[in-house]
Amino acid sequence: MPRVLRVGVQGDGYVSQRLLEHIPSPEIQLITTRGPMALANFLNRKVLGHHHATTFTNNYHWDPGLPLRDLYHFVNTIGTTPTPWIVSFEHYVPRWDPRSPFGMRLLASPRCRRLLALSDYARRAQEQLLSSREDIGAAIAAKIEVLHPPQRLLVRSLDEKRLPAGTLRCVFVGRDFFRKGGREVVDAVFRLIGEGRSIELDIVSSLDVGDYATRSSERDRTELVERITGLGSAVRLHGEMANPDVLRLLRDSHVALLPTYDDTYGFSVLEAQASGTPVITTNVCALEEINPDAAGWVVRLARDEWGQAAGINSGGTAEISRAIHLGVYEHLRSILDDPASIRTRAVACLDRIQADHDPERYAARVRTIYTDIVGSASGLTPP
């Protein structure tokens, strides 16, 4: 009987679920493990009200080696433990402070076996940080591997989609509505409707405000809701929805939109593409990798050396907003003028999801990493 590898994982957040759900097998058991830092993180969030994803307590794990695990697979987290570990990361680690000497020592530790970057963008960001560490940077960089997230196809053929004739149906999904370019989308749709164009927009968002990119306020939200109300049935605001309902909405749309100011990855883009729904995005961060021109439409923003929108951290958001609005408007207008462009890109979406995000190939690679590490760490023959 083959030996079962016990892999410790943390939390059940959206990103963790996306990265880990396809990995369990008869030989691989994922075990949720909450160390002492989990209690500290709970108190930090519930008592002190610190909800930022990049807090130390949310991105650090400590344990003395109990309970027994063969390996840890962290997501955006690094740790102090005698157990070998790997980390999948969206942007960089250590997430609480990319230049933390303590965090860098953990990455250089022999217990840290692999850094799985979700994109070339994340790999480049990590390598840029390591370039200043002549002592340990090269050793850490040697552990980096790019492994894009898995995504199953949600339609096998475009014939499975139910699309209205004569009207362009668009969908926007994102809790951080303003940071993800939602206001600019509404403004572009408002402009097109005023020109007599036949277009509809579904918005799935809680319309959160106060994000770091746009500094949106309650007044911004109130004004937005008033504008949406004035557009009548052409724009439908759904609030938060269960994921199956979101996926159904994506399948029933021609075009999805994520013209974001800043996003480390853009998982909703993968879900839209897997639904045969091409996406309008910006070119920031990892989006240029997962939404090439052949499969979607790209609003090109000026970018800094990190691949983020230039000026996002120095008060340049008004210029970013203008560029997003104009780009979304022009792309939607071109789609309305050439509806055939939707099908061409939709086919390309399904092809790239199969080629670059196949869940079976992803899971097979991660399992190989697990067994190689456990075998080398313990002297055991991998199952």
Q: Is residue 95 in a domain? A: yes
- The reply to whether 115 and 211 lie within a common domain is no
> What pLDDT was estimated at residue 35?
75
First to last CA, the chain: 9
| Mean local confidence (pLDDT), 145-152 | 97
d(CA 246, CA 375): 41
What pLDDT digit, counting tens, does each position of 198-231 carry? 999 999 999 988 888 899 999 999 999 999 998 8
Its pTM stands at 0.91
Mean pLDDT of 46-59: 74
Q: Which tokens go with 90? A: 């969206």
Strand partners, 25: 28
Together in a domain, 11 and 119: yes
Among the residue ranges 33-47, 126-140, 175-189, 329-343, the one predicted with the least confidence is 33-47
Domain that holds residue 26: 5-150+358-378
pLDDT value at 380 more than 70? no
Both 223 and 322 in one domain: the answer is: yes
Domain membership flag for residue 118: yes
Q: Looking at the structure, do residues 309 and 226 belong to the same domain, yes or no?
A: yes
- CA–CA separation, 375 vs 170, rounded Å? 50
pLDDT confidence of residue 316:
78
Whether 219 maps to a domain, the answer reads yes
Averaged pLDDT for residues 62-78: 90
Q: CB-based burial of residue 365 (10 Å sphere; 0-12 exposed, 13-18 middle, 19+ buried)? A: middle
Q: Which of 40-54, 56-70, 113-127, 179-193 has the lowest mean pLDDT?
A: 40-54
Angle between helices 218-230 and 182-194 (to 10 degrees): 30
Q: Would you state the pLDDT for residue 312?
A: 87
**170 and 281 within one domain:** yes
State the Cα–Cα distance between residues 356 and 351, nearest whole angstrom.
Answer: 9
CATH of residue 62's domain is: 3.40.50
pLDDT score, position 53? 79
Contact 139, 109 (CB under 8 A): no
Cβ neighbours, 10 Å, residue 217: 12
Instruction: Decide: 261 and 285 in contact? Cβ < 8 Å.
Output: no
Same domain, 135 and 193: no
Query: Would 197 be classed as within a structural domain?
Result: yes
Instruction: Indicate whether 201 and 265 sit together in one domain.
Output: yes
Res 105: pLDDT: 96
Q: Looking at the domain assignment, is residue 63 inside a domain?
A: yes
149-177 average pLDDT score: 93
Is the same domain home to 185 and 303? yes
Residues 208 and 271 in one domain: yes
Q: What is the pLDDT of residue 1?
A: 42
Number of domains in the chain: 2
Mean pLDDT calculated for residue range 24-47: 80
Rounded Cα gap, residues 291 and 162, in angstroms:
23
Q: What number of residues does the chain have?
A: 383
Angle between helices 267-274 and 340-356 in degrees, nearest 10: 110
- 220 and 106 in one domain? no
210 plus 290 within the same structural domain: yes
Cβ count near 82 (within 10 Å): 9
Residue with tokens 């339609």: 155
Query: Is residue 383 in a domain?
Result: no
**Max intra-chain CA distance, the chain:** 70
For residue 164, the domain's CATH number is 3.40.50.2000
C-alpha atoms less than 13 angstroms from C-alpha of 327 in its C-beta half-sphere: 24
Does 175 lie in the same domain as 317?
yes
Mean pLDDT across the chain: 91
pLDDT surpassing 80 at residue 70: yes
CA distance 101 to 319: 36
Does position 40 have pLDDT exceeding 80, yes or no? no
CB 168, CB 198: distance < 8 Å: yes
